């Protein structure tokens, strides 16, 4: 049995093995301590690999193609970031780069680095530190806000020119759902347990 502190009332209690798809609740306040997610590591790993493939597609292909009076202009994810920097908005360019590129990529690479060895009952060096970074960086991944901004721009620019969404927009949209599913599939309690057991 494992000892676990309730995040609501701080009561430290022994947690017996929990059946799949069940939850452990605090004996004092009833708060959910954790849920036992079946096949958590395999599902999170598969979704993370899918996310990296989609991320590569989103960064490699055009985001939007604008056609106006015979002029065709294509934009990519990094083109928008570079344009923001060139228009004297380095703070906004850095924020978009951080929240839409670096943080999501860092999260996915961290999960690969942690989960592949755990699948083989091993622990890679610095896994605990990286998993803490992964959990702490969750609020900083804001790809869905960026995509909403793109959709708003599509609506506004649609009256001025013909806008054709590229493969990158589709991949980016799917990536948002894949990353949400991957985050949901991760069982922090199981990962910490495996890291402690195999370290």
Domain boundaries, the chain: 1-36, 37-198
Contact present, 26 and 33 (Cβ < 8 Å): yes
Q: Which residue has the tokens 């020119």?
A: 161
More confidently predicted of 14 and 156: 14
Contact present, 123 and 195 (Cβ < 8 Å): yes
Which residues are 2's β-sheet partners? 15
| Per-residue b or e along 161-190, where b marks 16 or more CB atoms closer than 10 Å to that residue's CB | eebebbebbebbbebbebbeebbebbbebb
Contact present, 100 and 143 (Cβ < 8 Å): yes
Q: How far is CA 195 from CA 36, 110, 120, 121, 128, in A?
A: 17, 14, 12, 9, 7
pLDDT digits (tens, 9 = 90+) for 54-76: 999 988 888 777 777 777 777 77
Q: How far is CA 80 from CA 53, 58, 105, 173, 195, in A?
A: 21, 13, 18, 17, 40
pLDDT digits (tens, 9 = 90+) for 107-122: 999 999 999 999 998 9
pLDDT digits (tens, 9 = 90+) for 116-174: 999 998 999 999 999 999 999 888 877 777 777 777 766 776 677 677 778 888 898 89
- Residue 127: is it exposed, middle or buried by C-beta count within 10 angstroms (0-12/13-18/19+)? buried
Backbone angles phi, psi at 120, to 5 degrees: -100, 15
Q: What is the mean pLDDT of residues 22-32?
A: 83
pLDDT score for 1: 52
Q: Which residue has the tokens 């599939």?
A: 185
pLDDT score for 131: 93
State the average pLDDT for the chain: 84
pLDDT score for 105: 93
Binning pLDDT at 50, 70 and 90, where does residue 52 land? very high
Q: Which residue has the tokens 């909403």?
A: 148
């Amino acid at each position: 049995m494992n000892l676990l502190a309730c995040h609501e009332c701080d009561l430290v209690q022994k947690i017996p093995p929990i059946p799949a798809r069940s939850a452990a609740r605090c004996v004092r306040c009833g708060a959910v301590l954790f849920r036992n997610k079946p096949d958590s590591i395999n599902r999170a790993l598969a979704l993370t690999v899918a996310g990296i493939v989609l991320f590569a597609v989103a960064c490699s292909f055009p985001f939007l193609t604008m056609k106006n009076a015979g002029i065709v202009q294509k934009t990519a994810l990094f083109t928008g970031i570079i344009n923001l920097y060139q228009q004297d908005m380095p703070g906004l360019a850095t924020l978009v780069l951080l929240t839409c590129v670096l943080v999501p990529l860092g999260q996915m690479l961290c999960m690969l680095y942690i989960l592949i060895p755990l699948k083989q009952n091993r622990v890679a060096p610095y896994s605990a530190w990286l998993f803490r970074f992964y959990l702490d960086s969750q609020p900083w991944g804001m790809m869905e806000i960026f995509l909403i901004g793109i959709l708003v721009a599509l609506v506004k620019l649609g009256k001025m020119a013909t806008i054709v969404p590229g493969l990158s927009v589709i991949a980016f949209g799917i990536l948002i759902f894949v990353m949400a599913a991957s985050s949901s599939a991760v069982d922090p309690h199981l990962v910490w347990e495996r890291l402690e057991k195999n370290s």
